[in-house]
Amino acid sequence: MVEVARADLIWFLPHRFWAATRNMPKEQAERLLDEVIALAEVRDLEALQKYDFVSTENPYRKKAVA
């Protein structure tokens, strides 16, 4: 098993993926998911930023209020 620091996690947000792909043909959504997985495997964070359903920050962490 590979040790991964919490700061290096890539978050996939299924509800946003579903919203982005619900009107796509099944094959197109599968290709999109394969592309995202491939980018995550090589840790291409810059390329992953273009997807609303992928985050490099913990989306569940409460933001500090100033």
- Position 58 scores a pLDDT of 83
| pLDDT, tens only, 26-59 | 999 999 999 999 999 999 999 999 999 999 888 8
Residues in a beta bridge with 53 = none
Between helix 14-21 and helix 26-41 the angle, nearest 10°, is 140
CA atoms within 13 A on the CB side of 30: 3
Q: Is residue 54 within 8 Å of 15, Cβ to Cβ?
A: no
Residues 8, 5, 16, 14, Cα dihedral to 10° = 140
Instruction: Look up the pTM and report it.
Output: 0.74
Tokens of 7: 């700061």
